[in-house]
Amino acid sequence: MTDHEESAGVLRGPLAGSAPPTAGDGTAPGERLQKVLARIGIGSRRAVEELIVAGKVRVNGEVASLGRRVDAEADLIEVNGAAVGTAPGLVYRLLNKPSGVVSTARDPEGRPTVVALVPSEPRVVPVGRLDTDTEGLLLLTNDGTLHHRLTHPSFGVDKEYLAEVEGEPTRQALHRLRKGVELEDGATAPAQASLLAPNLLRLVIHEGRNRQVRRMCEAVGHPVRRLVRVRIGPLADGRLAPGKWRDLSASEVRALERAVGS
């Protein structure tokens, strides 16, 4: 699995590293900032106004004033340090990926893809990847800013996995996982590791190396038989059936943005 590789596709919204145009002053064209933030679920109009007055909202890096007008498609808006997606048409879809489906927009070998499991419009791409034989939660979006932050290793968003392994891991094996395992591409960061059943591991990591969980388990002598991702940062859904998807709620999107805000 690798969560730092971006899949092929076009991402809409302000991309990381771009220089969005200035929104101008309160008389510039566009919508009032408090209206935009209330519409996308940051809070009520009054609550949003209080955030702006308290200096907790920035537009293109500048502290915003009440009544400022913004371009929701181009301006970079941050609340409490977290960039929020405001462009019209941004969607966030949570998929429970089945085994045998590849985490790309297209596959030259003709295998089924995660993109084919969600509506084709608006176009979305997977955030990071799960191995073809790995199951579980995968986010797909057209929000370029959030995609970048969730896949970039510096933001360190936790991912939780359940791994059915060969044999019963010992205390020593768990200690190695918690301390960090030496792999061919270097030592891993410490993981949260616990034994839920004789051959069932719970692992939480924040890196996104290729097939990392599988390689970690194999390195401590317990190859993986089945691997399922059950959480991405604040996102979890034990009722979402394999192959099914749903849109994130506004509060879930805000929680993701808070998770990558610092």
Q: Where are the domains of the chain?
A: 31-75, 158-232
Q: Are 208 and 148 in contact (CB under 8 A)?
A: no
| Chain centre to alpha carbon of residue 188 | 20
SS (H, E, C) the chain: CCCCCCCCCCCECCCCCCCCCCCCCCCCCCEEHHHHHHHCCCCCHHHHHHHHHCCCEEECCEECCCCCEECCCCCCEEECCEEECCCCCCCEEEEEECCCCECCCCCCCCCCEHHHHCCCCCCCEECCCCCCCCEEEEEEECEHHHHHHHHCHHHCCCEEEEEEECCCCCHHHHHHHHHCCEECCEECCCCEEEEEECCEEEEEECCCCCCHHHHHHHHCCCCEEEEEEEEECCECCCCCCCCCEEECCHHHHHHHHHHCCC
131 belongs to the catalytic site: yes
pLDDT at 87: 63
> What are the CA-CA distances from residue 61 to residues 19, 24, 251 (Å)?
10, 13, 24
Ranges in the chain, pLDDT < 70? 1-28, 41, 81-88, 262
Q: Are 93 and 245 in contact (CB under 8 A)?
A: yes
Determine whether domain 158-232 maps to CATH 3.40.50.1820.
no
pLDDT at 219: 97
pLDDT at 210: 87
Catalytically annotated residue among 3, 71, 75, 131: 131
Question: 31-75 in CATH: which number?
Answer: 3.10.290.10
- Amino acid identity of residue 201, one-letter, is L
**Residue 101 has which token pair?**
């489906």
Same fold for the domain at 31-75 and the one at 158-232? Answer: no
Rounded Cα distance, 23 and 17, in Å: 18
Query: For 40-93, what is each residue's pLDDT tens digit?
Result: 767 788 988 999 999 999 888 899 999 899 987 778 787 776 666 666 678 999
Nearest one of 231, 230, 233 to 260, comparing CA atoms: 233
Torsion, CA 49, CA 55, CA 58, CA 62, rounded to 10: 130
pLDDT at 18: 37
